[in-house]
Structure 1
Amino acid sequence: MKLTITELYEKMHQNMGDSGWWPAESKAEIIVGAIMIQNTNWRNADKAVAGFRERTNFDPNQIRQLTTAELYDLVRPAGFYKNKSRAVAAVFTWLSQYNDDYQQASQSLGPTLRKELLKLHGIGDETADVLLTYIFEQPTFISDKYARVLFTQLGIPNLTNYQSLARQVKLPANFTSAAAQDFHGLIDEFGKVYFHPLTKFQESFLTDDRLIL
C-alpha cells in the first residue's frame, strides 16, 4: 500500500499507540538528554542524564553554575565529554538571555530560531530539530538514523546522511507539535524492534507498504 507521511504516522500510531516521547520530566532534561545521546546509545546517555538529575535536578541556574571539571564528570558516561560539556554550557548560557523562557526565545527569534541553534557549540542538524520539536514545540521532522532506515525500507532511495532525508520531508501543515513528537518516538521505538537485525522488518506491519513523499 502507498502511504503519505500522514497515513504512515496514523498507521504507526494505530498499531503502536502513543510513544510517550521524549521520556523526561522537564524540558531542561530533554535538552541534556538530546546532547548526551549524540554518538552513543541510550544506556550510556541515561547514565549521564541520571548524574545531572542527582546533581542539579535540571535547574538551569544550577547547570550554569557547574565548573568545567564538574561538567566533565557528569557527561563522561555518555562519551565525548569535552564536546558535550561545552554544548550543555553553550545551550544553557544562550537560554539565560531569554530567562529560560522557551516561548520567549521562540517568539523573539521566529523563523531564525533553527539558524541560531546551529550556531551553538555541539548543536548539529539532528539536535537542532529535536530541540525545535520538543523544546520549542515547532513541528519538525527528525531525520535520524532510524528514520532513514525506515524510509529506505519504504522505498525512498539514497538516504546517506541527515540532510538527504531532511530536505525531502516537510511535515503537513496539520501536524501539531504533539504529533511530531509522537511520530519521532514511534519511528525510534519501531526501529528498536524491527531493525536489529534489519531482516525483522519483514515481520512488521509496514512490510508491504511504500511511502509517497
Structure 2
Amino acid sequence: MELTVLQLYQKMRQNMGPSGWWPAESKEEIIVGAVLIQNTNWQNADRARLLFEEKTSFNPQKILSLSDQELQELVRPAGFYRNKSKAIKTIFSWLAQYDFDYPALAKRYPTNFRQELLKLHGVGQETADVLLTYIFEIPTFISDKYARTLFTLLGIKDLTNYNSLAKRYQYDDRFTASIAKDFHGLIDEFGKIYFHPLSKFNDSFLAGDRLILS
C-alpha cells in the first residue's frame, strides 16, 4: 500500500496507540535527556537521567548551581561527559537569560530559531529539532537514525545522514506539535521492536507498504 507521511503516522498510531513521548515530567527534564541521549543508548542515558533527578529534580537553578565537576559526574554514565555537561550548562545558561519563558523565546526568533539553537555548544541538528518540537512546540520532523531506517525500508532511497532526510521532508500545516511529538515517539518505539535485527521488519504491520514524500 502507498502511504503519505500523514497516513503512515495514522497507521502507526492505530496499530501502536499513543507513544507518550517524550517521557518526562518537565521541559527541563526533556532538555537534559536530549543531551544525554546523544551518541549513546537509552540505558546509559537513563542512568545519568536518574542521577540528575536525584541530585536536582531537574530544577534549572539547581542544575546551574552545580560545579563543572559535579555536573560531569552526573553526566558520566551517558558518556562524553565533558562535552555533554558543557552543553547542558550552556543551554540552561542561555535559557536563564529569558527566565525559561519558552513561548516568549519562540516568538523572539520567528524565522531563524533553529539557527540560534545550533549556535549553542552541543546542540546539533537532531537535538535542535527535538528542542523545537518538545520544548518550543514548533512541529519539526526529527530525521534520526530510526526515521531514516524506516523511510528507507518504505522505499525512500539515499538517506545517508541526518540532512539527507531533513532536506527532503518537513511537516506541513496538517502536523501539529502534538502529532509531531507522538510521531517521533512512535517511530523510535517501532524501531526498537522491528529493527534489531532489520529482518524483523518483514513481520511488522508496515511490511509491503511504500512511502510517498509529499
TM-score range, shorter chain: over 0.9
- Give the CA deviation at 1:172: 2.2
Q: Which runs of 5+ in 1 are unaligned?
A: none
Hey, what's the Cα distance between the residues in 2 that align with 1:149 and 1:4? 17
Scaled by the length of structure 1, what TM-score is found?
Answer: 0.99
1:152 alignment counterpart = 152
Which amino acid letter does the alignment assign opposite residue 147 of structure 2? Answer: A
- Give the CA deviation at 1:144: 0.3
Hey, what's the Cα distance between the residues in 2 that align with 1:147 and 1:119? 25
2:106 alignment counterpart = 106
Hey, what's the Cα distance between the residues in 2 that align with 1:180 and 1:5? 11
The correspondence of residues 113-124 of structure 1 with structure 2, limited to 5 A, is: 113-124=113-124
Hey, what's the Cα distance between the residues in 1 that align with 2:159 and 2:12? 21
Hey, what's the Cα distance between the residues in 2 that align with 1:116 and 1:131? 12
- Post-superposition Cα deviations, 1:1-28, rounded to whole Å, max 9, x if no partner, equal 1110110000000000000000000000
- Post-superposition Cα deviations, 1:17-46, rounded to whole Å, max 9, x if no partner, equal 000000000000000000000000000000
Hey, what's the Cα distance between the residues in 1 that align with 2:110 and 2:97? 16
Which amino acid letter does the alignment assign opposite residue 84 of structure 1? Answer: K
2:16 alignment counterpart = 16
- Post-superposition Cα deviations, 1:66-110, rounded to whole Å, max 9, x if no partner, equal 100001100000000000001000100000111011111111112
The correspondence of residues 127-138 of structure 1 with structure 2, limited to 5 A, is: 127-138=127-138
CA RMSD between the two structures: 0.6
- Give the CA deviation at 1:133: 0.4
Hey, what's the Cα distance between the residues in 1 that align with 2:116 and 2:15? 37
Hey, what's the Cα distance between the residues in 2 that align with 1:43 and 1:131? 21
Residue pair 1:64, 1:93 contacting (<8 A) in 2 also: yes
The correspondence of residues 1-213 of structure 1 with structure 2, limited to 5 A, is: 1-213=1-213
Equivalent residues, number = 213
Partner SS for 2:110:
helix
Partner SS for 2:25:
coil
Partner SS for 1:168:
coil
Which amino acid letter does the alignment assign opposite residue 108 of structure 1? Answer: R
Structure 1 runs (4+) greater than 3 angstroms displaced: none
Hey, what's the Cα distance between the residues in 2 that align with 1:25 and 1:73? 22
Partner SS for 1:111:
coil
Hey, what's the Cα distance between the residues in 1 that align with 2:71 and 2:81? 8
Deviates more, 1:137-146 or 1:109-118: 109-118
% identical equivalent positions: 64
- Give the CA deviation at 1:212: 0.5
- Give the CA deviation at 1:113: 1.2
